[in-house]
Amino acid sequence: MPRKTELSRKLQQRAEKVIPGGVDSPVRAFRAVGGDPPWIVRGNGTLLWDADGNQYLDYVGSWGPLILGHAHPEVTRAIEAAARSGASFGASTPLELELAEAVVAAFPVIEKLRFVSSGTEATMSAIRLARAHTSRKYIVKFEGCYHGHADSLLVKAGSGVATLGIPGSAGVLDELAQFTLALPYNNVAAVEQAFAKFKDQIACVIVEPVVGNMGCVPPVAGYLEALRAITKNAGALLILDEVMTGFRVAFGGAQQLYGITPDLTTLGKIIGGGLPVGAYGGRAEIMDKVAPLGPVYQAGTLSGNPLAMAAGLATLKHLRAHPEIYTRLESLAGVLVEKVSAAAEAAGVKLTANRVGSMFTWFFQSGKVSDWDSAAKSDTAAFGKWHRAMLERGVYLPPSQYEAAFLSNAHTEDDVRETVEAARESFKSL
């Protein structure tokens, strides 16, 4: 029986009258895959229910933070307890201290950190701090890496390898974007050329150690090590944007997984347990330049708010108490990705899978995906058709070829079997 869409469609139409595009984040509009976006009203464990009563197996997980699944009892109790004491004070609370200590304990390279309310705030603040610390203007980012919607980061590469950035969004001034160098990911030579061309002018390199916003794209062997060496030799800072990978690919993030020591780290998602949060941190000598100790100003009324701190602390405590979760996620995600890929091959559908831990993407192409140019070769029309077919069969996947999917610890072997069968049937529609 086709899924019902009447109520979700009516909600979307109402929303379009008062919210741009009817959504508060563009990907939710389903423009990349077509069809009616479901309006979600409830989640529990691995399941979602929309306004029409349709049930879905969820592989979005609020884009990564719900590593324990929806409405995990320990997280829910923590939020309820915090809410009963007051949602926000604009003052310091013990919860933010406890969560800060938990994060520092998990990331040895972070000696001090500052909480903010989003990943965008975290990366924006880390870059400001890097520029202040080095007294340099230029930053390096990589095509396909998304670090939030701050002006300096919404740029795309020019025609050359180390050309000046040009705005990737209306409203971003050329005067700001010109100090961003957008380079191809997984290309060490491009970084070396940029540092040669802009000698002693680059403040930092910011990178997703495992990219999640052009689909899941892992670093090639030696790439992160090269970035660390190049930045260190040039007196620039290395910022690992672990908003998505922190506590996801390993308890200590991608820097633990790959053995990389950055100067600054940005975090989000899981450290808020599903509530809005971000953080940036690093060596004390750098972080002490942040006000009130230093000249780098950054502030936020809701930074460290009790609800997000409580949810994040409950999530991290559970993960720390159950390290076997990561072994389980590695195994179960491996089975899921491999079996769906095998089903595609059996159906004659060209598919390439990338996975790191419980992050993964099925790219609708046969070639290897290691950067934006190779990811962009994917058949987005075929992905959209498959996505709609999976949704009809009760499987909720990221509504874009260029977004990573996520497994939670709530997923079971039965969920995987159900998903593989849905994929097998959906491939037939192609």
Q: Which residues contact 18 (CB under 8 A, 6 or more apart)?
A: none
Q: Which two tokens stand for residue 75?
A: 């997280």
C-alpha 411/C-alpha 408 separation (Å) is 6
Active-site residue identified among 241, 263, 371, 379: 241
Q: Residue 3: what residue type?
A: R
Inter-residue contact 213 to 144 (CB < 8 Å):
yes
- Angle made by CA atoms 25, 423, 1, in degrees to the nearest 5: 85
428: annotated active-site residue: no
Task: Determine which one of 59, 146, 223, 326 is catalytic.
Answer: 146
Indicate if 317 belongs to the active site. no
Choose the catalytic residue: 269, 280, 371, 396.
Answer: 269
Burial tier of 233 (Cβ tally within 10 Å: 0-12, 13-18, 19+): exposed
- Per DSSP, the residues of 89-147 read -SS--HHHHHHHHHHHHH-TT-SEEEEESSHHHHHHHHHHHHHHHHT--EEEEETT---
Q: Do residues 119 and 243 lie in contact, with contact meaning Cβ atoms separated by under 8 Å? A: yes
Alpha helices, H only, 118-234 = 119-134, 174-177, 188-197, 223-234
**Which H or E run includes 205?**
strand 202-207
C-alpha to C-alpha distance for 81 and 216, rounded to whole angstroms: 36
d(CA 279, CA 158): 31
Active site residue 4: no
**Separation of alpha carbons 197 and 183, rounded Å:** 13
Burial 172-193 (b: 16+ CB within 10 A, else e): beeebbbbbbbbbbbbbebbeb
Catalytic residue numbers, as ranges = 146, 241, 269
